[in-house]
Amino acid sequence: MTEIPDFALVLLLVAGTAALAVISTTLTARFPVPAPAIFLVAAAIVSDLWPQVYERVPILTVERIAVVALVVILFNGGMDIGWGRFRAAAGPILSLGVLGTFATAALLAGFAHYALGFGWTLAGIIGAALALTDPAVMFSVLGRREIAGRSGTTLEGEAGVNDPAGIALMLGMIELATHKNASAFVVLREFVVEMGVGTAVGLVGARVLLLVLRRLQLPAEGFYPVLALTLAGALSRAPSLVHASRFLAVFLPGLVLGDAPLPSPRWRGRFHTPPALRGLLTRNFDGELKKLPPLPANDYVRNYQRDANEAIEEAMRARKRKMLVTMATGTGKTVTMVNETYRLMKSGVARRVLFLVDRRALAAQAVRSITSFEAEPGLKFDKIYELYSQKFHNDDLDEADFNPTVLPNNALTNPKLGQAFASVSTIHRMASNLLGI
C-alpha cells in the first residue's frame, strides 16, 4: 500500500512550499532578492542533497502544485489591484498584456528561427513559452522599489493578464503543431476562445462569489478567506470544461472582490493569531446567544432601556456587525450599555468590551456609571468582571477611594484566550496605546 506514503509526500511538499513562501517574505523585506529566486535556490539545494526526489515526485504532482500556486497568486494579485484601479489603467494593461505578449512571442520566434535555425512552428512554440516572462515587474522587485501611480497599476495588471494571454497563445501554437492541416487561423481561434470564454466565466464567477460571501453567514470570520480561496480554486476548474482560460477566470474575480463592499471587511485585512483563530473556530456563537434570554432583567433598568437591549440582541442574532443606538440626553445611555455589556459577557457572547469616548471627562463618567452599576444582587459590575481604564486626574473622579487599573499592553496585543474584561478609554489614549503616537 503506497497511497498513504504518496499522499503524505504531497502534503509535505505543499506544506513546505507554503512555509517557504511565508519565510521568503521576511527575507525579501531585508534583502533586494525576489521571492522566486529563493525558491529556485531552495529547489537547487534539494535536488543536490536528495537526488531521489526526481524519482519520488512525479512531474504531474509538480505541475499540480504549480497550478495551485498560480491560482493563489493571480487571485490575490487581483484583490490587491481592485477593479477601480484596473479599469483606470485598462488600456495600457491590455496593450502590454495582450499585444505585448504577441509582440514578444513574435520577436523571440524570429530569433529562434533565424539565429538558432528552428522551424517556424517550433520557433513559435518557444516564443509563446518565453513570452510569459515579466522582466519589468521582476526588475522593480529586484530593486525593492515601489512604482507609484498609474505605472504601478499598469505593471501589476499586466502581470495578471500576461499569464492567461501567454498560456492561451501557447495552447494555440500546440494546436497548430499537432494538427497536420491546421493553419495560423487555429492559433487566433484558440486564443479568442480561451480569453473570451475565460473572461465570461470570470465575470459570472465574480458575481457568484459576491453573492455567496454577502449572503452566507459563517460562524467565524476565519472561514471567509478559506471559503473565498476555495471558491476561486473551483472557478479555476470550471473553464477547463469549455476549453477556456482558467487563470483569467481566477484573476477577474480577484479584481472584483478587491473593491467590493462586503459584510465583514476585516477578513481581508489581517490574519488572526493562532490562539485567536482557535477561539473563533471552537466557539459556539449560536449557543451563547441562546443563553441571553434566561438572564434576569436588572431592576434598575427602565423599560425603554430594556427595549434597547432587546433590539441589540435581536440584531446580533441576525448576525449584524454594526448597530447604532440613539437615545436622548439624560435617558441613561451609559446604563443601557453597561447592562448590555454585562449580559453579553455573562452569556459568553462578548469577552472584551471597549467603551471609547472623545474626552477624559466622559471616560471618568463612564467609569463611575460602571462601578456603581449593580449587575447582580449585592455585586457591582467591577466586582464580577475586570474593569480597566486610563489614568485620571484627582478631580476627574468623585470617589477618592477608587483606583482604576490601567489597561496592560499585552491585553491589547496578546490577550489570553477566554479572558473577559471591560475597558474605558479616550480615542487619543487608545491610539497612543495601539500606535505609539
In this structure, is residue 30 part of a structural domain?
no
Same domain, 168 and 71: yes
- Of the candidate ranges 12-26, 73-87, 247-261, the one whose mean pLDDT is the lowest: 12-26
- Of the candidate ranges 175-179, 223-227, 370-374, the one whose mean pLDDT is the lowest: 223-227
144 vs 177: which has the higher pLDDT: 177
CB 309 within 8 A of CB 339: yes
What is the reported pLDDT for 103?
A: 86
What is the H or E stretch that residue 421 is in?
strand 421-426
Q: Give every CB contact of residue 253 below 8 A, 6+ residues apart in sequence.
A: 75, 78, 202, 205, 206, 209, 232, 235
Q: What are 356's strand-pairing partners?
A: 425
In this structure, is residue 342 part of a structural domain?
yes
**DSSP character at residue 367:** H
CATH of the domain at 287: 3.40.50
3-state secondary structure of 183: coil
Same domain, 70 and 109: yes
What is the reported pLDDT for 143?
A: 41
Q: Is the pLDDT of residue 148 over 50?
A: no
How far is 46 from 37, CA to CA, in rounded Å?
14
Q: Is the pLDDT of residue 90 over 70?
A: yes
Cβ of 100: how many Cβ atoms within 10 Å?
20
In this structure, is residue 53 part of a structural domain?
no
Same domain, 329 and 258: no
In this structure, is residue 44 part of a structural domain?
no
Helical pair 333-347 and 303-317, crossing angle rounded to 10 deg: 50
Same domain, 257 and 291: no
What is the H or E stretch that residue 267 is in?
helix 266-269
Cβ of 71: how many Cβ atoms within 10 Å?
22
What is the reported pLDDT for 21?
A: 58
Same domain, 338 and 365: yes
Find, among 231, 58, 230, 251, the residue nearest to 166 by Cα.
251
User: What is the maximum span of the chain, computed from C-alpha positions, in angstroms?
Assistant: 96
Same domain, 82 and 225: yes
Strand segments, DSSP code E, in 240-397 are: 352-357, 374-376, 379-380, 386-389
Q: Is the pLDDT of residue 273 over 70?
A: no
In this structure, is residue 365 part of a structural domain?
yes
CB 424 within 8 A of CB 389: yes
- Of the candidate ranges 62-71, 280-289, 301-310, 396-405, the one whose mean pLDDT is the lowest: 396-405
Pairing of strands 374-376, 379-380: antiparallel
In this structure, is residue 333 part of a structural domain?
yes
Same domain, 131 and 215: yes
In this structure, is residue 318 part of a structural domain?
yes
431 vs 354: which has the higher pLDDT: 354
What is the H or E stretch that residue 423 is in?
strand 421-426
Q: Give every CB contact of residue 238 below 8 A, 6+ residues apart in sequence.
A: 201, 205, 246, 249
Instruction: Name the CA radius of gyration of the chain, rounded.
Output: 29
Query: In the numeric block, which cell numbers belong to residue 366?
Result: 463612564
Total of domains in the chain: 2
CA dist 92 → 130, 158, 256 (Å)? 21, 8, 19
Same domain, 335 and 426: yes
Q: Please, which contacts does 275-280 make with residues 24 or more away whose CB atoms are closer than 8 Å?
A: 275/417, 276/417, 277/222, 278/417, 279/417, 279/418, 280/220, 280/221, 280/222
Same domain, 109 and 234: yes
Same domain, 119 and 239: yes
**326 lies in which domain range?**
281-435
Same domain, 196 and 290: no
Among 271, 293, 313, the domain-final residue is: 271
Same domain, 228 and 91: yes
Find, among 426, 351, 353, the residue nearest to 396 by Cα.
426
Q: Where are the alpha helices (DSSP H) in 179-265?
A: 184-215, 223-237, 248-259
For residue range 193-239, list pLDDT tens digits in order: 888 888 888 888 888 888 887 777 676 666 777 777 788 777 777 77
In this structure, is residue 17 part of a structural domain?
no
What is the reported pLDDT for 437?
A: 52
Among 271, 291, 325, the domain-final residue is: 271
Among 249, 271, 293, the domain-final residue is: 271
